[in-house]
Every structure is written in C-alpha cells, then in structure tokens.
Amino acid sequence: MAQGDSRSTTNNSARVGVTAAGVVSPLGFGLAETLESLRHARDCVTAVMRFSVAQCRCKTAGQVSDSRLLAGHPLTRQSRRLHRASHMMIRALREVFSQEPDFDPESMIIGTTSGGMSYGERYYRSLNAGGNLRNAPTWIANYPAQKPVLDAQTACGIAVPCQVIANACASGTNALGHAFECVRSGRYQRVLAGGYDALTEMVFVGFDSLQASTPDKCRPFDRDRSGMVLGEGAAVLALENLDLARKRGATILAEIIGYGISTDNYHITQPEPSGLGARQAMARALEKAQIPAADVDYINAHGTATIFNDAAEGKAISALFDGVPVSSTKSMMGHSLGAAGAIEAVVCLLALQHQFLPANINFTNPDDGFDFDIVANEARSAVVNTVLSNSFGFGGTNASLLMRNMRTGQA
C-alpha cells in the first residue's frame, strides 16, 4: 500500500458517501425533472405503444421516451445499433460525471434482470420463422447484460472492472449494497453502482400471464389493489469513501449507513406470507447501521401493489416500525425490475435533500392489516434525516438500504 493511501487497514469500517447521481425513468431525465414529478405526485404510467398488448389484461406501463433518449446524441451508425438500455445507461452515467467530473471510479456494479431481452426476442422469432437474419449480429451483440454498462463506459471515456448482479427485482439494491460494502471495507475508495432495465414484450407478457399485472391503476397498499404495472429506466450513483470525498472538497449528497439482505426460499414467485424475509432484510440493515427502527423517518417500500407482496411487506414493516411514513413510488412510474432499487435510491436521495415524503398515488382504501402511515396521493413536507429503501424479488431475494442526510450535524 502506497504511503499516504487512506484505505482502511484496521477493523474500523469506512463511512460511505454519495457524491453524485444520475437517473432516467418515466418520472423524467435527471434529478431536477425527477424531483419535479415527485413533488407534484405525477402519474407517469401511460398506454403501451411499443408493442401490441391487445391480448393482455394490462395495457399500461411506465415508459421512457425514445425521442428524448436519442436527443443530443449524434445519430451515427454505431449509436443506432445500441439497445435502448444502453442509451438509458449513457444518460444516467453522463449526469453523474456532469456533477462530479473528477470522480475516478475503481469499479462499476450494476443490477439488471433482462439485459437486451428485446433483441433476443427478435433473433429467436426470426430464427424460428425462417425470417431475415441480416440484423442478427446487432441483436446478438446487444444481448449480454453487461453490454449497456460497457456502452455507457465507452460514451463517458472510462474503462473500469464491471460486475453485473442479476438477483431478480432486488438487483439494483443489491448492486448498491455490494458497492457500499466494497467501500466500507476499505478495499475500494470510489465505486459506481446502480441498475437498469428496459421494457420488453416478453417480460411484459410474462407478468401479465402470471396475472401479476393490473388492468386498473397501480394501487400499492390499497385494500383494492389488483396488481403491478411495469416500468423501465436506469440510475447510477457515485459511492465514495466519505473522508476522502471531504478532503477533495466533494459535495456529499447523502451517506449510506446500512444494508441488509435475506433469502426466504419460500416460493419462486411469492414472498413468504408472514413477511419474515422482508423483516430480516430491514432488521439487518438497521443492525449494520447501528440505529433503532425509531430513527427511520421514511420508508420507500417495494410496494408492487400485488396482493401477496404488499401483504408480506406490510406485515414486516408493521412488526418493526411504529407509524412510520411509507410510500411506494412505483405507483407513479411502474416497477422497473432490476433498475427499481437504484431509481428508488435516487428518490430517497431527493427526499433527504429536499425534506419531503414522496407520494403513494391512486390510494383510496386503507388496509386494516397495515400499521403505518401511507403518504397518500400527495407529497408531504417533513423533516427527513434517515430513509430506508426496500427491494424484494422472485425467489425470496430481499434487500434493504439505509441512507442518512448529511446536513443533520452528523460528524
């Protein structure tokens, strides 16, 4: 280790700050647009136009505009070949470096579930139908899950080791949690972490076939909830050793203070009914942060609006917390799968910075089984020092992340 290198050489854990963040989602492009949508509790779920949904119960999703994705990009032959997920990652990563041009990452950890699934669909259909395979090289080249991450690195002029975490809908939070642990351990000083997923026909139809998607509005934690809607997007956060970030004069947007995971192995698509897995993940995040549940001012819930997920998560939150404000911002933008945890971490970051509670829209009928405060239909001003973000996925994968406001006088 070089002289003057401040990486941890003791059992003391390094503190982890967030020094920049970039996001693309149905809520908007960038932090400013996202904040505006959250403040106004905008419903950004719209009719699906990308592919036919005539045979589906669900007709809506949270979608990112293609024209906006390509705006400002030179329309070269190479850029036309990129998957939509690559363009989302490029926009998110560019926003990070626009805030922190001097951020020098040592690694990049990204969560996703599907990679370039839509190109895989095209290849498979053309192959089986005896169709034109002229574009097969492009389809195959864009299929690997790491391709959008590498495209974003190339666009931003960096080349660092890349890890892809595919752990169902917990992927984005797992990526952030793993990056947090890397910096906390002292083995790394600066890591980029986040998640991406793009809306695809096969995934959309799959959730519809499971009857997990709703033909109605997405109503998390509502007694009359009837299912989820899908979304898409990308988010990247810059995580850095807090002491080193302060020494170089970086702006600290928030501090990540805890991360908890669990796997309940109950069912491939349904959560453990008592909420045990979710409760373990949240409890372990609190334990890692060494804070009591009473210190949490807001929970951004996984809140998919499916009968089973909301019931299990509601029981888990009620068991650990007493009247904490809760909302699921998936009600506004849909469930972006592997990107969800990363996008919702940015939502939590904005809640900490701007001292408000994001809304749980489309909420009409409280469920008697939930003992917490739903932030119903409108954003709410509040003192917000510590927030918890939940992500739970198929196969019983559960992850929770704790973040703290850096303007509360914490040493």
Tell me what pLDDT residue 38 has: 98
pLDDT at 118: 59
Residue 15 has pLDDT above 50, yes or no: yes
Can you tell me the distance from the alpha carbon of 304 to that of 51, in angstroms, rounded to the nearest whole number? 23
pLDDT of residue 92: 98
Check residue 234 and give its pLDDT: 98
Contacts 24+ apart (CB under 8 A), 7-13: 7/186, 7/187, 7/189, 7/241, 8/185, 8/186, 9/186, 13/184, 13/185, 13/186
The tens digit of pLDDT for each residue in 139-190 reads: 677 778 899 999 999 999 999 999 999 999 999 999 999 999 999 999 999 9
Report the pLDDT value the prediction gives residue 115, as an integer from 0 to 100: 52
Q: Which amino acid is at 236?
A: V
Q: Catalytic: which of 58, 218, 335, 348?
A: 335
**pLDDT for residue 1:** 35
Residues 56, 58, 169, 218: which is the catalytic one? 169
In this prediction, residue 409 has a pLDDT band, given cuts at 50, 70 and 90, of very low
Does residue 169 carry a catalytic annotation? Answer: yes
User: Is 8's pLDDT higher than 50?
Assistant: no
Q: What is the pLDDT of residue 70?
A: 86
Whole-structure pTM value: 0.93
**Fold category of 16-404 in CATH:** Peroxisomal Thiolase; Chain A, domain 1 (3.40.47)
108-125 pLDDT, tens per residue? 999 999 755 555 666 667
Percent of the chain having pLDDT more than 90? 78
Q: Hey, what are 221's tokens?
A: 């934690």
Alpha carbon separation from 320 to 230, 278, 295, 375 (Å, rounded)? 29, 10, 12, 18
Query: Is residue 162 flagged as an active site residue?
Result: no
Domain spans in the chain, listed from the N-terminal domain onward: 16-404
Which of residues 354 and 411 earns the better pLDDT score?
A: 354
